[in-house]
Amino acid sequence: MDQKPSDSMKRVESGLGIFEELDPEPRLLMGPGPVDVYPRVLRALSTPLLGQFDPQFTEYMNQVMALYRRIFRTENEWTFLIDGTARSAIEACLISMIVPGDRVLVPIFGRFGLLLKEIAERAGGKVVTIETEWGTVFDPQRIVDAVKKHRPKVVALVQGDTSTTMMQPLEEVGPSCRELGSLVYVDATASICGNPLEVDAWQLDAVTCGLQKCMSGPPGIAPITLNEQVAEIINGRQHIEGGIRPNDCIDADGPRIMSNYFDLAMLMDYWSPKRLNHHTEATSMLFAARECARVILEEGLEEGLKRHQLAGGALRSGLEAMDLNLYGDPVHRTANVTGVYIPDGMDGEKVRKELLVDFGIEIGTSFGPLHGKIWRIGTMGYVCRKPNVLRLLASLEAVLRRNGYVPPAGAGVDAAYKSFGKNLC
């Protein structure tokens, strides 16, 4: 979807004008993320700013910590936010947990496992990987066997990988790794609040996510939770920067964390009653994260999971009724993102462009070995509703017909209607 410079761009670049006020055409975002934001969250973004140490604001920080303990299903004291996209929390965790030379095991079943591998390597870890074919996940015992073999300090893995639309089972991994003395880090960005995640019950040591998928918030701030064992390891590397360093500060014995911005030891002091002046908090994004959690908890975590299962199931029923083939292991698909094969001989990017331009709906392409082979369709958060699923199926049928693929007329919408039944979504 490459675009040539617009007339307004040319005018600004030549010094003859300024850009117009933001007024984008409406879109229904049904790709793998980001998705449409809850209206309440948009309103929260417009809340007037406060100083970061204003008592009102520090109380909001405390509220955010309490709310996200419920989202993560944990009692972890260290549950807070990292200023940046979901990737910032991944990097903060791994660079703070991994000391150069530490062995790290990364099970890879899609693009984001490869990302964990790269970040762990950049942190100085000695990374060992195991891999499985894209579109499948690991038998948990294979991960446990690799832990027994390699004895890593950290096992870093993704729960839901949007690149493959697959969901890795974690219930057996956490307890086994704890018994074997390995820490478990999980990237739950693509899965949280649309699929079950039990941080404490599954004995996961550190988990991070973002807002832009099933939480239906804007990208730009990232929730994180750490248990006491991880916090102790990180605090064993604490070195407070000059300029904000208290006179009575004594550095820890461990090596300094290699990133200042993502130094979780200093960030924990920032979020603690110490209120270490590490950085200026992203105030508006904190307000958005707070409202995301409130919306989700008001609906109820279990009700939200049911809604994602219902809408995702209805979408898949509709796609199959249109004689389209779904991608990946059906037992381990995420509830919130569906992969569907592009019909043979069809220009998948042309279909995506026509859906966007003619119907105002965005769906996703894919990466690596799946590029040009599948579309990825998201039913997440605020978008995860019956009218949106029906609109997508009807629009996709029209675009497919225009491009030479003729599904049974109305079959997709009819199948989705049947799948929804009398359930409201």
Tens digits of residue pLDDT in 14-70: 666 788 889 999 999 999 999 999 999 999 999 999 999 999 999 999 999 999 999
* Other CB atoms within 10 A of residue 187 CB: 29
100: nearest Cα among 123, 79, 116, 81: 123
Which residue blocks in 164-246 are alpha helix, DSSP H? 173-180, 228-235
Tens digits of residue pLDDT in 74-120: 999 999 999 999 999 999 999 999 999 999 999 999 999 999 999 99
Phi and psi, residue 80, nearest 5°: -155, -160
Strands 28-29 vs 103-108: parallel, antiparallel or unpaired: unpaired
Look at residue 16 in the predicted model and tell me its pLDDT. Answer: 64
CA distances from 189 to 127, 129, 210 (A): 22, 21, 5
Look at residue 424 in the predicted model and tell me its pLDDT. Answer: 64
Question: What residues does each domain of the chain span?
Answer: 39-296, 302-420
Look at residue 234 in the predicted model and tell me its pLDDT. Answer: 98
Q: Which residues, 6+ apart, have CB-to-CB distance to 274 below 8 Å?
A: none
**Architecture, CATH, for domain 39-296:** 3-Layer(aba) Sandwich (3.40)
Structure token digits, residue 321: 């009724």
Strands 374-378 vs 337-341: parallel, antiparallel or unpaired: antiparallel
Tens digits of residue pLDDT in 298-327: 999 999 999 999 999 999 999 999 999 999
Look at residue 17 in the predicted model and tell me its pLDDT. Answer: 73
Whether the predicted pLDDT of 2 surpasses 60: no
142: nearest Cα among 160, 125, 155: 155
Tens digits of residue pLDDT in 346-393: 999 999 999 999 999 999 999 889 999 999 999 999 999 999 999 999
| Cα–Cα dist 240/135, whole Å | 44
CA distances from 247 to 146, 242, 244, 250 (A): 46, 10, 9, 9
% of the chain surpassing 70 pLDDT: 96
Full DSSP string of 69-130? HHHHT---SEEEEEES-HHHHHHHHHHHHPPTT-EEEEEESSHHHHHHHHHHHHTT-EEEEE
Phi and psi, residue 319, nearest 5°: -65, -40
Q: Do domains 39-296 and 302-420 have the same CATH topology?
A: no
In CATH terms, 302-420 corresponds, of 3.40.50.300, 3.90.1150.10, 1.10.10.10, 3.20.20.70, to: 3.90.1150.10
